[in-house]
A and B are shown apart, each in its own frame.
Chain A
Amino acid sequence: MTAPGLPEHTARKAWPAGRAFAVVGGIFGCLFLTLLFLLAVDQRQVLEGSQRLQDKTIPTTLEQFRLARNVEQLRLEGERVFSGPTPVARQQALFIVSLLASHPAMLADARTAALAREVEGFLARAARQGMSEQSYAEWLMLSNRLSLLADDVSIAGVNLATDDLRQMSSTMVHSRFKLAVVLALVAAFVGVVLFLIHRHLIRPLQVMDEALLALRSGQPMKPFPAASMVEIGAVEGAIGQLRQSMHDNEQARQQLVLLATTDDLTGMFNRRHFTVLAEEELKRAHRYGRPVCIGMADLDNFKQINDRYGHAVGDLVLQSVAELFARTLRQSDWAGRYGGEEFAFLFSETGIDEAYRLAERLRQRLAASPIEVAEEVCLPITLSVGLADASGGSLASALKRADAALYDAKRQGRNRVVVATATGELRTGRFKAADREGGQRPG
């Protein structure tokens, strides 16, 4: 799953974000669709129930009401058979009774058909045999049964609609519950997705942002926590690679800078870098009118050491001298290996008197510190130094004058510091600044 070369932590088992969200979405989608389907079924049941109520139940209920009305009418006509004002009216009532008793709707219901036939027969007999109190008493019982039957038929019609409405109501209650579940499911889905996005996308991105900020500020990068998404893991791996690459590049750059600016034997600035730094410092000193001095130094009789003890000992001597320089010079002083056993110095913010004292201290310490080149073999090393005030001229001029002073120190017997005056005259040993203009040698 992970590209080759990515950090190891990205190679562990993880989910592709698209697949993970598709799985989550799929699960919720299936549940959602299932509930929607159930809701649609309920809705269809309600619609069908409503349609059934309108097309079948209500017409059937109305037919029941009409049948009940006819049963009641049968009772009224029967009453008229007994109490009609004229024989014709009573015959007409009996005729209507016979019509009602043979009415197809009346015959379609077993209870009404049976009672209507019984009523028709009773009234026909009563009409033939003449009305009596006994027959009227029997009629009252039949009349009561007709009233009860009319009520029953009406109630049966109402119950038809009630059953349909109860069924629809039950379906609606279930639908409401399912709708609530659907809404809860949607809310849960949104919540889960937001949680997953925050946990597996936003938070890792925040961690990456923090890591990149740390990288920019040079701080070491913390390892990423385990990413559960492949894509996030891949980005983390890429950031890790970038960080490693930047680290390697920085090390290489530092190595190159070191190689370009220092002498690999002594670790001091090389001649070119020293010259560049000295040029910049002289410009700064000249711009602000600050004192600055240049020194040139050479180890005395170094060729004999090389000849006698070999170049390895010579190199050891050079390294030891460089270490002594580093320990003795101030933080603000610059020293460089100018070539062979020759060294250059720049004393910034330093007048020639102070530079002389510094150079003299350096010379004395070296002279007092023989260098152990082998077991029980210590070589006394001395140093000749030429100093020049560089506050007013160019670096080349100052180096030239310092070199001349060095030459003069050598000529005077080595192991000494010689100061070149501004006019090019040389002074050796202790001197005061006021003496420089006079060009006299120190005593």
Chain B
Amino acid sequence: MAASRRRATPLFWSALLALTIGVSARAAEDVLRVAVLSNSPPMSYTDSAGQPAGFNIGVANALCEAMEVRCDLQVVSLQQVIPGLVAGEFDFSAVSLLNTPERRAKVLFSQPYYRSNSIWFARPGVAPGAAAARVAAVAGGAQLRYALAQGWQTTAVSHHSEFPALLASGKVNAVLIPMATALTLRQEPLIQSLGLQTKVMPQNELSGDVCFAINPAKPELRDRINHAFDRIKRDGRFDRLNTEHLPFRLQ
């Protein structure tokens, strides 16, 4: 009995080691690197505990749970999202991106998870395209690209959080921002006294399907993410996140 126990012990440890290595390897395979923003409330922001939060963060976590994978959220700026995906630094981005032809040429897109438009948010009397208009937009966004394409006086910023100070100081008299972001910006105390007015921009370049972007080398991941979107939309997780972060249904 004792001899057989001595023989069995190395076998047991070998099996345990192999199992551990196998599990570790599988876990390593199942970790997805996800690019997120930290300055685009209510879609993405950093909560009081310093953790990423917001609608897109919740959707990303729900997708990873539906795909039964672990996700490693990595905070980036908007203009780093597409280059990072192309370079393979991330597997996908939990960032609301309009599905534009320029972006489609570089990355893969998930199915649309809502439709958005853009908001012209300006001092009274400042209309889109007016000669006096000095508009600010986030670098890397469709709104900045549109403003530049229109030949407007444009200021590029890195974060949405820069808008209140710019508007309050008068360096810009308008911002062009996504619909959801406008909800939060509208409530900033710094700009409450400015009497800013809003205008929905219906142009094709500023509205349309909003998707998550995916590493172009991973088309199979797109299918998995699409199936996961179907699941969380059917089982109510998507709508609960919507209710948690936004006053109306995005889709």
A interface list, Cβ under 8 A from B: 54-55, 58-59, 62-63, 66-67, 69-70, 73-74, 77, 88, 91-92, 95-96, 98-100, 102-105
Is B234 a contact partner of A96 (Cβ separation < 8 A)? Answer: no
Task: Give the Cβ gap from B156 to chain A, nearest Cβ, in Å.
Answer: 25
User: Which residues from chain B contact A92 at a C-beta distance below 8 Å?
Assistant: 186-187
Q: Is the CB–CB distance between A77 and B247 below 8 Å?
A: yes
**What is the minimal beta-carbon distance from A171 to any residue of chain B, in angstroms?**
23
> Hey, which chain A residues are within 8 Å of B233, CB to CB?
59, 62
Nearest CB in chain A: distance from B140 CB, A: 23
Closest Cβ of chain B to A71, distance in Å, is 10
Do the beta carbons of A69 and B249 come within 8 Å of each other?
Answer: yes
Q: How far is the CB of B184 from chain A (nearest CB, A)?
A: 11
Q: Chain B: interface residue count, which band? A: 20 to 34
Number of A-B contacts (CB under 8 A): 60
| Interface residues of chain B: helix, strand, loop or mixed (majority) | mixed
In this complex, what residue of A is CB-closest to B189? A88
Cα distance A100–B242 in the bound complex, in angstroms: 14
Residues of chain A contacted by B242 (CB below 8 angstroms): 66
A364 CB, min distance to chain B CBs, angstroms: 120
**Chain A residues with Cβ under 8 A from B187's Cβ?**
88, 92
User: How distant is B117 from chain A, measured CB to nearest CB, in Å?
Assistant: 6
Inter-subunit contact B198/A95 (CB<8 Å): yes
Q: A98-B198, A99-B183 in contact; A69/B234 too (CB < 8 A)?
A: no
Check if A69 sits within 8 Å of B198, measured CB to CB: no
A73 CA to B249 CA in the complex, in Å?
A: 9
A105 to B208, CA, bound (A): 10
Q: How far does the alpha carbon of A88 sit from the alpha carbon of B188 in the complex, in Å? A: 10
CB–CB A102/B200 < 8 A: yes
A104 touching B249 in the complex, CB below 8 Å, given contacts A58-B234, A88-B192, A99-B179: no
What are 14 A-B interface contacts by the 8 Å CB criterion? A58-B234, A59-B233, A70-B248, A73-B247, A73-B248, A88-B192, A95-B183, A96-B183, A99-B182, A102-B200, A103-B115, A104-B208, A105-B249, A105-B251
Q: Kindly state the separation between the CA atoms of A326 and B244 in the bound complex, as whole angstroms.
A: 133
Q: How many angstroms between the C-alpha atoms of A88 and B187 in the bound complex? A: 8
Q: How far is the CA of A70 from the CA of B179 in the complex (A)?
A: 15
Residue of A nearest to B199 (CB): A98
Majority SS at the chain A contact face: helix
Encoded as 1 (CB less than 8 Å from any A CB) or 0, chain B from 115 to 137 comes to: 11101000000000000000000
Most buried by B among A63, A96, A100: A96
Q: In the assembly, what is the distance between CA of A96 and CA of B116, in Å? A: 14
Contact partner of B249 (CB less than 8 A), chosen from A54, A67, A88, A96, is A67
Q: B residues bordering A, Cβ < 8 Å?
A: 115-117, 119, 179, 182-183, 186-187, 192, 198, 200, 202, 207-208, 230, 233-234, 239, 242, 247-249, 251
**B207 contacts across to A, CB distance below 8 A:** 104
Q: How far is the CA of A99 from the CA of B58 in the complex (A)?
A: 23
Flag if B200 contacts A70 (CB, 8 Å).
no
In the assembled complex, the CB of A127 is this many whole angstroms from the nearest CB of chain B, namely 12
- In the assembled complex, the CB of B105 is this many whole angstroms from the nearest CB of chain A, namely 24
Q: Is the CB of A59 within 8 A of B198?
A: no
Question: In whole angstroms, how far apart are the Cα atoms of A54 and B234 in the complex?
Answer: 9
Contact residues in B for A88 (Cβ distance below 8 Å) = 187, 192
Complex contact B234–A59 (CB within 8 A):
yes
Question: Are B249 and A95 within 8 A (Cβ)?
Answer: no
Closest chain-A Cβ to B150's Cβ sits at a distance in Å of 20
Contact A95 B186 (CB under 8 A): yes
A62 touches B234 (CB 8 A): yes
Interchain CA distance A67-B251 in the complex, whole Å: 8
Please determine whether A66 and B234 come into contact, CB atoms closer than 8 angstroms: no
User: Do residues B115 and A104 form an inter-chain contact, with CB atoms below 8 A?
Assistant: yes
> What 5 additional pairs, Cβ within 8 angstroms, besides A66-B249, A104-B116?
A58-B234, A67-B249, A96-B248, A99-B183, A100-B248
Q: A62-B234, A96-B183 are in contact. Are A104 and B247 (CB under 8 A)?
A: no
Query: In the bound complex, what is the Cα–Cα distance between A69 and B117 (angstroms)?
Result: 19
Q: How far is the CA of A104 from the CA of B206 in the complex (A)?
A: 12
Once bound together, how far apart are the Cα atoms of A92 and B187, in whole Å?
A: 7
Residues of A within 8 A of B249 (CB): 66-67, 69-70, 73, 105
